[in-house]
């Protein structure tokens, strides 16, 4: 997924560069600063994230918002109508998200109950105005609850012992969380970002033969990076 995102960003930059070059040589006269051009700063990143990210809901929301704003700037859609449509459209999108996210929610809840029944010790990490770095070097990893509030938490799981599915809950509030995942696991992410983002940069194809780390992520003015 990360490679796809980089490729798409590369294409966008090349296209912009070509347009600027042709304009400079007076071969073309393409105005990239048209009325409502600034909405592309919402549309382009959202479209790329929609393709490249595993969790697509919020990318789709921002893409729709960007397109609606562009239509309003181009006088195709009335701004008054846009504001009237905002709440109904958001309600529809949130409703769709609730319908289709139930499957992974049920799987994560099942995994939580399984770990609890097995009596496995889930690690707790909370960094508030501070920093935590944890390295699982040949240690068994049973899952974790990770919170970063105006701080950062780094979990290095590259050499951790993971023989079955695990669950990780993350909350990044004005903070950052980085998870370095081992190569022999799948990563499944469910994310709720509020002016934040969760990025799964592992770029791996799902393999049913491998254990899975389920990441339930909440970000508010913060970020979670999985590498």
Q: Are 72 and 82 in contact (CB under 8 A)?
A: yes
Q: Are 188 and 99 in contact (CB under 8 A)?
A: no
**Mean of the per-residue pLDDT values for the chain?**
79
Q: What is the pLDDT of residue 53?
A: 60
Q: What is the pLDDT of residue 119?
A: 55
DSSP state of 137: S
Nearest to 177 by CA among 125, 122, 108: 125
C-alpha atoms less than 13 angstroms from C-alpha of 17 in its C-beta half-sphere: 6
Between 114 and 123, where is the model more confident?
123
Least reliable range by pLDDT among 14-23, 172-181, 187-196: 187-196
Examine the pLDDT at 4 and tell me if it is beyond 80: no
Between 16 and 56, where is the model more confident?
16
Q: Are 198 and 191 in contact (CB under 8 A)?
A: yes
Q: Are 186 and 204 in contact (CB under 8 A)?
A: yes
Cα distances (Å, whole numbers) of residue 222 to 62, 171, 188, 212, 217:
17, 9, 20, 24, 11
Whole-angstrom Cα distance, residue 52 to residue 1? Answer: 5
Between 109 and 149, where is the model more confident?
149
Q: What is the pLDDT of residue 179?
A: 92
């Amino acid at each position: 997924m990360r490679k796809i995102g980089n490729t798409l960003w590369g294409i966008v930059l090349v296209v912009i560069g070509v347009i600027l070059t042709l304009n400079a040589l007076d071969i073309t006269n393409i105005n990239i600063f048209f009325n409502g051009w600034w909405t592309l700063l919402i549309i382009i990143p959202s479209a790329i994230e929609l393709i490249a990210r595993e969790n697509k809901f919020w990318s789709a929301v921002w893409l729709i918002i960007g397109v609606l704003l562009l239509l309003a700037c181009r006088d195709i859609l009335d701004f008054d109508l846009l504001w009237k449509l905002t709440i109904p459209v958001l309600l529809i999108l949130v409703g769709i998200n609730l319908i289709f996210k139930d499957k992974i929610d049920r799987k994560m809840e099942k995994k939580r109950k399984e770990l609890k029944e097995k009596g496995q010790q889930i690690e707790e990490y909370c960094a508030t105005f501070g920093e935590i770095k944890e390295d699982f070097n040949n240690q068994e990893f049973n899952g974790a609850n990770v919170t970063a509030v105006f701080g950062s938490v780094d979990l290095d799981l590259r050499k951790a012992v993971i023989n079955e599915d695990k669950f990780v809950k993350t909350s990044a509030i004005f903070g950052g969380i980085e998870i370095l995942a081992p190569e022999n696991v799948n990563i499944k992410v469910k994310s709720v970002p509020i002016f934040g983002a969760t990025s799964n940069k592992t770029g791996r194809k799902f393999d049913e033969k491998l254990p899975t780390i389920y990441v339930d992520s909440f970000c508010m003015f913060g970020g979670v990076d999985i590498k």
